[in-house]
Amino acid sequence: MNLNELQTFREIVTRGSLTEAGKVLGLTQSGVTRQLQRLEQDLGTSLVRRDTTPVLPTVAGERFLSFAEQVLRDFDQLKAELAAEAGNPAITLAASTTPGDYLVPALLVDFFRGYPGWRVQLSVTDSAQATDQVEAGSAQVGFVGSIADRPALRFVPFMSDELVLVARHDHPLADRGVVTIDECAAWPIVLREAGSGTLNSLRQLLEARGQALPPWRVVATLGSTQAVLSAVLAGAGLGFASFRALAPYGGDRLRALRLAGLPLWRQLYIVVRQEAAKSDPVHRFVRAALSWAAYQTS
């Protein structure tokens, strides 16, 4: 059994005639007959009724027709994808710091195994600017920590992320594990900048529980998660960051604290333009990213 025989059988049923199928395929009637006979021999059953005009499939033939059409569709799709990949598609990405520094690099390693030859350009910024880049078309796909009201954009849930309060290992609160929001408000704190998804998510999570950002003594407003962690490590005060960002520190230098009664879990998103979501390279990249994310959380 081969693809040519599947195509021949499909044409026989579609045309209702071995002769007409041969005309479409450029085969003689005897050539069409031989292919049909080989299929029937392989399957051990008759696929068409030979006593009707037009030619009609048997019950087994109907089932085989569904199989043949699916195989041929899958083959056509694979050919189209391979042809596109042969041109080494390029994807431009923009990501806020948490996904950009701690998730997207690992995603790309996995992605390149399945799509060798693709070219990817990644810029890491804050959520607001990453969203702006996608909306303006300078990036095709964004990874952000908060949703914006942009009708031209589509936000797709990507992965969940926990925000934690970070303290240096020798801070008086470092070994507490859980603290109240009033306790942490008594200490100097380092925050992300206004366009940060981390800061926006923190505000939204607190507001959803009837809380607000306390009047912290903010000693610095910094532009990246790594900058916040470096400042905390230098003794500037407490800071908020993704729990994922603490992995390189192993708990020896920085400690994660949770707020009592206030779980700070947020959703990270993939953002694309509504019309771009259907373009083939963007669609394949987003599909691969969501598959990778599902595997990480399974």
Work out the percent of the chain whose per-residue pLDDT is above 90: 28
The string of pLDDT tens digits covering residues 59-92 is 998 998 899 888 888 887 776 666 665 667 888 9
Work out the percent of the chain whose per-residue pLDDT is above 70: 96
- The CA distance from 98 to 138, in Å, is 20
Residue type present at position 244: R
Structure tokens at 106: 């690992």
The string of pLDDT tens digits covering residues 83-112 is 665 667 888 999 998 899 889 999 999 999
| CB-CB contact of 147 with 131 (8 Å) | no
- The CA distance from 25 to 32, in Å, is 9
Give one word for 193, left, alpha or beta, with left for phi > 0 and alpha for psi -120 to 50: beta
Note whether 3-86 and 160-266 share their fold: no
Q: Does domain 160-266 have CATH number 1.10.3130.10?
A: no
Q: CATH assignment of 90-158+267-297?
A: 3.40.190.10
Give one word for 133, left, alpha or beta, with left for phi > 0 and alpha for psi -120 to 50: alpha
Tell me the average pLDDT of the chain: 86
Q: What class, spelled out in words, does domain 3-86 have in CATH? A: mainly alpha
Instruction: Delimit the domains of the chain by residue range.
Output: 3-86, 90-158+267-297, 160-266
Q: What is the DSSP string of 191-240?
A: EE-TT-HHHHHHHHHHHHTT------EEEEEESSHHHHHHHHHTTS-EEE
- Residues 6+ positions from 288 with CB-CB distance below 8 Å: 110, 111, 114, 115
Looking at residue 25, what is its pLDDT?
Answer: 73
The string of pLDDT tens digits covering residues 232-257 is 999 999 998 889 888 888 778 999 99
The string of pLDDT tens digits covering residues 168-206 is 999 999 999 999 888 888 899 998 877 777 777 888 888
Can you give the pTM of this predicted structure? Answer: 0.64
Q: Name the one residue in this structure whose structure tokens are 């809380």.
A: 211
